[in-house]
Amino acid sequence: MFLTPALIGIGLFHFLPIIIALRGSLFELNLLVPERETFVGLDNFRAIASDEEFRQSLLNTLVYTVSKLGVQLPLSFGLALFIEARLRGTTLLRSAIFAPTVTAVAIAAVIWGLMYQPHAGLINSVLGAVGIEPQSFLTSKDQALPSIIALGIWQDTGLTVLILLGGLQGIPREFYEAAVLDGASGSQAVRYLTLPLLRRTILFAVVLTTLLAFKVFAEVKIMTEGGPENSTLMTVYYIYKKAFVFLDLGYAFALAVVLMAILVVIALLQGRLLRSRLEY
Amino acid sequence: MAGRPVTMSAKLRQALLYFVMLAVVVVFATPFVWMFGSALKTQGDIFAHAYPLSWETIVPSRPTLDNFASVIVGRGIGRNFLNNVIVAAAQVVLTVAVCSMAAYVFARLRFRGRDALFGLVVFSALIPFEATMIPLFQVMGTLELRSTYFALFLPWVANPLGIFLLRQAFLEVPREYEEAARVEGASRFQVFWNIVLPMSRPALITLTLLTFLWSWNSYLWPLIVMQDPSKQVIQVAIASFSAPEQLPAWGDIFAASALATIPVLSVFLLLQRYYVRGVAMSGLK
């Protein structure tokens, strides 16, 4: 039957792992000898509740999400308005901001890692040209996370621009004509018409950015390995480390279950927004 | 007279706006320009012109293909590039085949439990791979697929999002065409193949493009599941020879990164329209 390959695939590679994680989270397991398991009940989850590093990773994710949104959303909104106005030069702008979204995050992390290098990196060269002394960026406890956030903004701005553009194109042109007839200026129209009508779209962009923050991995693995002093430790990298560096499989399963719960809640929120996006 | 200051300030505002937008273009394009520019420089030139900033920091004054020769001959990056091609090709073909068949069933056939099954598909889309990668690694071990090409693409072939996207497109195909063909004796498969698929071309191209990008750009899963360096994808290979404990081979890194990026950038520029559509529909990159 037509459906069989899809059902086998989804069962084997989507549902089976969920079941394995749920079951495995109740055991103490070593990655290298997974057949030797000890039932420990909810001990793993109790350990997670008091796990400082895990808490740090959630905190970093929160900081990452909020600071990224603070820069990326206003920037994306301005860019979307500019693109929607179809002025000259729009095509170039579109290509420039969308190109990072299709580039592999691992490659972006490698290149940005070199840009952040204290001695031969491009960013310190630019800073030097305007008289700022070299910064250490990725090896500094205070600058490492902002550096990774900057890379995230570079990569994902195109994504939020696309989403906002979708929202803008959904606003009927007559609304603007009516506003102009009533004597509204351009900035008034944006403030009192566009922004309120885009509320759902903006909320959707917020949820999506949060979801992406929970998936951050390559940047951390390639650029900082979670350091310095866990200042860039993010959740997925922490799970990866527990499983493949410390070989503590049961604990990694339990962490995965917690992450799943968080992500399902976010995704359900996203699904609701996606479905109701076009209603006014 | 009264209109004059207004036009002046409007012109000034427009100029300012253009200046800001130009700055944005420069900032967003710089990492690419630096990467491609440095890939064409000798390692000595890269470091010699790094500081202080000059036009030579970005643009190669004596362009050379030495770095490309070095990564291809010295590091065998061509092999990794080929691995990306093999995996992406298999993943695209199988994803489109499997998802389109399933989507057709969900869009057109009526049977008991269909909506419950579709609910399961939608639910599975809610759990991202990052949360299930460790147990999935176990599954690949049980199936004895670790370190094979299959491990790299097989888990993603039944793509819930792809099923969802295509079902949406199939629902928009007018039923009358299909019914007319059925009356004239066409089989279900003939209807699917000759009518539904051709009429859903934009959605099929969108899924092909998105699947290609996901596959080509993957990093975390190959890093975990592929332990055979000769079958490893290019992203993991580049990341491993740019790791901190390695000698700083910047020329190699730039050239290999340029090689890994050229295919996605060209496909994207070619099919930008479909990419925009796909992201708008799925909310995913």
Q: Check residue B284 and give its pLDDT.
A: 54
* Length of chain B measured in residues: 285
What percentage of chain B carries pLDDT values higher than 90?
60
Burial A144-160 (b: 16+ CB within 10 A, else e): bbbbbbbbbbbbbbbbb
* In contact, B203 and B165? CB cutoff 8 Å: yes
Residue B12 has pLDDT above 50, yes or no: yes
For A235-239, B2-6, B229-233, B244-248, which range has the lowest pLDDT when averaged over its residues?
B2-6
Note the pLDDT tens digit of each residue in B43-87: 888 888 877 788 878 888 888 899 999 999 989 999 999 999 999
Nearest to A53 by CA among A265, A263, A240: A240
Binding-face residues of B in 228-257 toward A, CB within 8 A: 235-236, 238-239, 242-243, 250, 253-254, 257
Q: Check residue A278 and give its pLDDT.
A: 47
Q: Which residues of A touch B242 (CB under 8 A)?
A: 110, 113-114, 222
Q: Measured between CB atoms, which of A2, A102, A159 is closest to B101? A: A2
B285 at A interface, C-beta within 8 A: yes
* Shortest distance, CA A103 to any CA of chain B (angstroms): 6
Q: Measured between CB atoms, which of A9, A96, A208 is closest to B29? A: A96
Binding-face residues of B in 170-209 toward A, CB within 8 A: none
Q: Which residue has the higher pLDDT, A179 or A60?
A: A60
DSSP assignment of B62-93, as one string? S---HHHHIIIIIS-HHHHHHHHHHHHHHHHH
Residue B254 has pLDDT above 50, yes or no: yes
Residue A38, φ and ψ in degrees, nearest 5? -120, 125
Residue of B nearest to A240 (CA): B134
Omega of the bond leading into B244 within 30 degrees of 0 (cis) = no
Is ipTM > 0.85 here? yes
Q: Check residue A197 and give its pLDDT.
A: 82
Q: Measured between CB atoms, which of A105, A239, A271 is closest to B134? A: A239
Residue of A nearest to B29 (CA): A96
Residue of B nearest to A17 (CA): B135
**Residue B150 belongs to what H/E stretch?**
helix B149-153
Residue A28, φ and ψ in degrees, nearest 5? -100, 125
B190 is written with which tokens?
A: 């003939």
DSSP assignment of chain A, as one string? -TTHHHHHHHIIIIIHHHHHHHHHTTEE-BSS-TTS-EE-TTHHHHHHHT-HHHHHHHHHHHHHHHHHHHHHHHHHHHHHHHHHTT-TTHHHHHHHHHHHHHS-HHHHHHHHHHHT-TTT-HHHHHHHHTTPPP--GGGSTTTHHHHHHHHHHHHHHHHHHHHHHHHHHTS-HHHHHHHHHTT--HHHHIIIIIHHHTHHHHHHHHHHHHHHHHT--HHIIIIITT-STTTT--HHHHHHHHHHTS-BHHHHHHHHHHHHHHHHHHHHHHHHHHHTTT--
- pLDDT band, very low/low/confident/very high, at A239 (cuts 50, 70, 90): very high
**Whole-structure pTM value:** 0.91
Note the pLDDT tens digit of each residue in A72-110: 999 999 999 888 887 777 888 989 999 999 999 999 999
Q: Do B120 and A2 touch (CB under 8 A)?
A: no
B6 exposed, middle or buried (CB, 10 Å; 0-12, 13-18, 19+)? exposed
Note the pLDDT tens digit of each residue in A3-56: 889 999 999 999 999 999 999 999 988 888 877 888 988 999 998 999 999 999
- pLDDT band, very low/low/confident/very high, at B285 (cuts 50, 70, 90): very low
**C-alpha span between A19 and A11 (Å, rounded):** 10
Q: Which residues of B touch A110 (CB under 8 A)?
A: 238-239, 242, 253, 257
**C-alpha span between A51 and A43 (Å, rounded):** 12
Residue A138 has pLDDT above 70, yes or no: yes
∠A103-A106-A107 over CA atoms, to 5°? 55
Q: Check residue B3 and give its pLDDT.
A: 45
- pLDDT band, very low/low/confident/very high, at B236 (cuts 50, 70, 90): very high
Q: Check residue B1 and give its pLDDT.
A: 40
Q: Measured between CB atoms, which of B28, B102, B104 is closest to A96? A: B28
Q: Do B51 and A124 touch (CB under 8 A)?
A: yes
Average pLDDT score over residue span B138-154? 93
Q: Which residues of B touch A243 (CB under 8 A)?
A: 134, 137
**Residue B135 belongs to what H/E stretch?**
helix B129-142
Q: Check residue A275 and give its pLDDT.
A: 65
Residue B8 has pLDDT above 50, yes or no: yes
- pLDDT band, very low/low/confident/very high, at A150 (cuts 50, 70, 90): very high
Q: Check residue A37 and give its pLDDT.
A: 83
Q: Do B132 and A256 touch (CB under 8 A)?
A: yes
B105 at A interface, C-beta within 8 A: yes
Residue B256 has pLDDT above 90, yes or no: yes
Residue B283 has pLDDT above 70, yes or no: no
Q: Check residue A280 and give its pLDDT.
A: 41
Residue of B nearest to A105 (CA): B217
For A135-149, A161-175, A247-261, B216-230, which range has the lowest pLDDT when averaged over its residues?
A161-175
Residue of B nearest to A153 (CA): B28
Q: Do A110 and B257 touch (CB under 8 A)?
A: yes
Q: Check residue A38 and give its pLDDT.
A: 85
Nearest to A114 by CA among B24, B34, B72, B220: B34
Omega of the bond leading into B202 within 30 degrees of 0 (cis) = no
Q: Check residue B5 and give its pLDDT.
A: 52
* Length of chain A measured in residues: 280
Q: Which residues of B touch A122 (CB under 8 A)?
A: 30, 34, 50, 57-58
Local structure of residue B196 (DSSP, 8 states) = I
The residue among A4, A7, A12, A13 with the most chain B CBs within 10 A of its CB, best to mutate, is A13
* Amino acid type, A25: S
Average pLDDT score over residue span B224-250? 88
Residue A131 has pLDDT above 90, yes or no: no
**C-alpha span between A19 and A14 (Å, rounded):** 9
* In contact, B107 and B170? CB cutoff 8 Å: yes
Nearest to B238 by CA among B83, B133, B132: B83
Residue with tokens 């440095």: B38
B16 at A interface, C-beta within 8 A: no
